[in-house]
A and B are shown apart, each in its own frame.
Chain A
Amino acid sequence: MRHIFKDLMAATALASIVATASYADEPKKGGTLVTVLGSNVRNLNSAVQSGIVTGFPGAQLFASPLRYDENWEPQPYLAESWETSEDGLTVTLNLVKNAKFHDGTPLTSTDVAFSVEVIKANHPFKSMFAPVETVETPDAHTAVLKLAKPHPALMLAMSGQLMSIIPKHIYGDGEITDVKAHPRNNENVVGSGPFKLVEFKNGEHVILERFDDFFIDGRPYLDKIVMRIITDPAARAIAYENGELHMGAFESLPRIINRLKGVDSLTVTADGYGAIGPLDWLAMNTSKGPLSNVKVRKAIAYAVDKNFISKAIMQGTASDSTTGIHPDSPFYAAQDGYDLDLEKAAELLDEAGFPVKDGTRMSLTIDFGWPGVKPQVEYVKAALKKVDINVEVRSSADFPTWAKKMGTGDFDLSWDTVFNWGDPVIGVHRTYDSSNILKGVWSNTQSYSNARVDELMAMAAVETDDVKRKALYAEFQAIIADEVPVYHTNTLPYHTVYNTEKVGNPPIGIWGTSTPIDMTYLK
């Protein structure tokens, strides 16, 4: 009798401990999350506008068929289930039955078909849905995508901010290409995501509030999200510290990251950027001058010290990267890289036919894509001086001028940050594909052309077997590391900062904040 009682006691004790533990983790409903956007958002419609600044509010306002977990596994979202045919040419999405837009209209497969059309016509990322020929809508809750060829990248393209389902009855009132400048992109925005738009004040803030009829029961947890627009990084840092901001993503300044890491109330993590995949690189224009010679490019790679960049400039906040694919991606295949070797660099330059004459071997110019990478640019100037290459820094006061230079091949060297956007097909192919040479900024502006690379990329794009695909990309990465049209040094150290006491379930999955934060709550 007695030991049964003791067992019972132990069991109850254990049960109560377990109960309280899970109770402590139970998300609380309510509250206003104050977060921040680091630059001004121009357009809230993520179906036509790319970029992380639009992605954060966009992914709250609009829903996509899938969402991904931290293990790169697709999870149901608007699509409660999906099938891909054997030949990979048909993808069927079975939509949830109860999804509604913020104005009460039910979401149907017509909206999905419409959205794909809109994205194809307006979104800058052409490779996402290029193979999609048509979207059939046999019934209101089934969308069938018919592909011209197998397209494994499609899965990732149907998540995050890449495939926002927009209401046809609102955006379908004109030509498909009119959606890009549609007035409802900035006000009265209607989607089917967990939050609806309350107010968007250009340059000041975006305010969202819970959509009570969200198709996932009991979610979202937050009442309101306030996204303040604060462009000055130091001001943001102060705001995190004194509690004015609960959370913020895309902080990339090493000094500030390290400073915030030292603050007790904050958690600073590099998690959440695997799918966005931001990489820093030194692009070299292979179409003209000394840079058309691979030995010269290798020499430059040997002269620019990744270690210095990582330790001194990045202050240890960035990860190493040796290829065009982000280290967090399942397709990443690390290469040996180019460690600092000034002698080797000098040797290669001599071999390439550029000996030292009057104290210099050659003169090159270097541009930069955004002010944040100016330290690296200045470092390259100093580093290349050590192998007697004269570098002149060119500044473009505005983005279109710089973009034009890149798009027309009017540059020698350029330092920039570029994103993978999930699947290599979306963000990586564009850089190395010889059919994409000089098609505007962030295309193959290096004029790089390698038949084998083209072949590998084409095969990988349609290869549905994961193992085979990895092998293809492994070879791909080996070649581009060897020919180095682009010298990869490190990842851009995006970090998410949040108040440990206040924020539960911060968005640090593979898509970071470009994903619905319906599971985030305030403690």
Chain B
Amino acid sequence: MSDLSTTTSHVSLSPWGQAWRRFRGNYAALVGLIVLGIVIFTAIFGPAIYGIDPFEMVWAPFSPPGVDGYILGTDYLGRDLMAGIINGARVSIIIGLSAAFMSVVIGVSVGALAGFYRGWIEEVLMRITEFFQVLPTLLFAMVIVALFGASLPMITFAIGIVSWTAVARITRSEFLRIRELEFVMASRSSGTRPLRIIFSVILPNALPPIIVQSALMVGSAILFEAGLSFLGLTDPNVVSWGQIIGSNRQYILDAGYTVTFPGIAIFITVLCISLVGDGLNDALNPKLKDR
């Protein structure tokens, strides 16, 4: 009896459910997910809970960590570094998510259309993809931000516009594979409208590698933003981790903690995203488990 029930419970789980099971078993990915959850929680609720304005000068400058109740110390203007890190989480996450979202939308569209329609549409779209692939990403983004202003939307746009090619390639590759499968051929020959085939038939099956890539893109968008901020191409009215590193760079010699803590924050966030991405990969592509 017990055997039957276990067998039944296995059979009744959807592919997504099975994937989740696998993910759960991956301890590294779980830890990553939990920590990531903490980071996101901090980004959303942190500023309200912690209460200190990261721009306000609350104490003597360069107060070392742990002194006088300021856990992470103060920076060159006497501003609370902890407040900077908590508020910075918001900007970093927002930019990370938005830029990744933009890249995914563009990339999936391009890849799907190319992979589905083939022929000259595919040629043109692939040329465009290779064109963007050849552009030096950081330099191009730097130029965009320098020319059109360093506001949050512009930075997001600049990051998004140079990062979509990987998603496009993967999407197209998946579409090429899936469109030849029997059930898809059936839809195609039965006269279903192409857009419907793309979105309802092929795309859901192409999702696994796209999801994995999207997750990794959030991480790389965060790193990208940090790089731009480090170089000074940042919105001066908001705090971001990369910006804290950039403005404190000249103090690394004896106030290194001002650079170390935001660096650790970025590192942990991106690391967790990578772990979760890996976990998703293992969970969604069990056959390619060791990739």
Instruction: Determine direct contact between A and B, CB below 8 Å.
Output: yes
Q: Considering the chains assembled together, what is the distance between the CA atoms of A375 and B253 in angstroms?
A: 18
**How far, in whole Å, are A398 and B233 apart by their CA atoms in the complex?**
10
- With a cutoff of 8 Å between Cβ atoms, the chain B residues found around residue A382 in the complex are 55-57, 77
Residues of A within 8 A of B237 (CB): 392-393
- B76 & A234 in contact (Cβ 8 Å cutoff): no
- Across the interface, do A375 and B77 meet the contact criterion of CB distance under 8 Å? yes
Does B29 reach chain A (CB closer than 8 Å)?
A: no
State the CA gap A308–B149 with chains docked (Å): 31
- What string of 1s and 0s marks CB contacts (under 8 Å) between A222-259 and chain B? 00000000001110011000000000000001011001
In the assembled complex, B232 has its CB within 8 A of some CB on chain A: yes
Q: Mark A362-406, 1 if CB is under 8 A from B, else 0.
A: 000000000100110111011000000000111101100000000
Chain A residues in 8 Å Cβ range of B56? 382
Taking a contact as CB atoms under 8 Å apart, the answer to whether A259 and B253 are in contact is: yes
Please indicate the chain A residues that have their CB under 8 angstroms from the CB of B62 in the complex: 255
B145–A256 touching, CB < 8 Å: no
Q: Give B41-84 interface residues, CB cut-off 8 Å to A.
A: 55-57, 60-62, 76-78
Q: Does A467 make an interface contact (CB < 8 A)?
A: no
B255 touches A255 (CB 8 A): yes
Which A residue's beta carbon lies closest to that of B233?
A397
A315 neighbours in B (Cβ, 8 Å): 61
In the bound complex, do residue B78 and residue A256 qualify as a contact, i.e. CB atoms below 8 Å apart? no
Contact B55 A378 (CB under 8 A): yes
When each residue 234-251 of chain B gets 1 if its CB lies under 8 Å from chain A and 0 otherwise, what string results? 111100000000010111
- Say whether, besides A313-B77, A375-B76, A393-B236, A233 and B250 are in contact (CB < 8 Å): yes
- Of B77, B147, B234, B250, which one neighbours A255 at CB under 8 angstroms? B250
A312 an interface residue at 8 Å Cβ cutoff?
A: yes
Are A397 and B145 in contact, CB atoms less than 8 angstroms apart?
Answer: yes
In the complex formed, the residue of B with least CB distance to A241 is B253
The answer on a CB contact under 8 Å between B253 and A237 is yes
Query: Interface range on chain A: under 10, 10 to 19, 20 to 34, or 35 or more?
Result: 20 to 34
B150 CB–A CB distance under 8 Å: yes
**CB–CB B253/A312 < 8 A:** no
Instruction: Please state if B77 and A312 are interface contacts (CB–CB under 8 Å).
Output: yes
List B residues 201-249 near A (Cβ within 8 Å). Answer: 232-237, 247, 249
Contact residues of B: prevailing secondary structure = loop
Q: For residue B142, which residue of chain A has the nearest CB?
A: A397
A-B contact count (CB 8 A): 65
- The count of residues in chain B whose C-beta lies closer than 8 Å to any C-beta of chain A is 28
Q: Assess the B77–A379 pair: CB atoms within 8 A.
A: yes
Say how far B276's CB is from chain A's closest CB, in angstroms: 34
- Does B253 lie within 8 Å of A395, measured CB to CB? no
Interface residues of A, dominant DSSP: helix
Which B-chain residue is minimally distant from A398 (CB atoms)? B146
Say yes or no: is B182 at the interface (Cβ < 8 Å to chain A).
Answer: no
B180 at the interface (CB under 8 A from A): no
- In angstroms, Cα B55 to Cα A375, docked, is 11
Bound Cα distance A234, B256 (Å): 11
By a CB distance below 8 angstroms, the chain B residues around A233 are 250
Question: Contact: B253 with A378, CB < 8 Å?
Answer: no
Contact in complex: A371, B76 (CB < 8 Å):
no
| Pair B77/A378 contact, Cβ less than 8 Å | yes
Would you call B250 and A256 a contact (CB within 8 A)?
yes
If the complex has contacts A255-B76, A312-B78, A395-B235, are A381 and B55 also in contact, measured as CB distance less than 8 A?
Answer: yes
Q: Which residues of A contact B250 (CB under 8 A)?
A: 233-234, 253, 255-256
Closest chain A CB from B154 CB (angstroms): 10
22 A/B residue pairs, CB under 8 Å, sorted by A: A232-B249, A233-B250, A234-B249, A234-B252, A237-B253, A255-B62, A255-B251, A255-B255, A256-B250, A308-B57, A312-B61, A313-B61, A313-B77, A375-B76, A375-B77, A377-B236, A378-B77, A382-B77, A392-B237, A393-B236, A397-B147, A397-B233
| A interface, CB within 8 angstroms of B | 232-234, 237-238, 253, 255-256, 259, 308, 312-313, 315, 371, 374-375, 377-379, 381-382, 392-395, 397-398
Knowing that A375-B77, A378-B77, A382-B56 touch, tell me 7 more A-B residue pairs with CB under 8 angstroms.
Answer: A234-B253, A312-B57, A315-B61, A377-B236, A395-B150, A397-B149, A397-B233
The interface of chain B, by Cβ under 8 A from chain A, is 55-57, 60-62, 76-78, 145-147, 149-150, 232-237, 247, 249-255
Q: Name the 10 nearest CB pairs between A and B, nearest first.
A: A397-B146, A393-B236, A395-B236, A233-B250, A312-B61, A255-B251, A253-B250, A382-B57, A393-B237, A234-B252
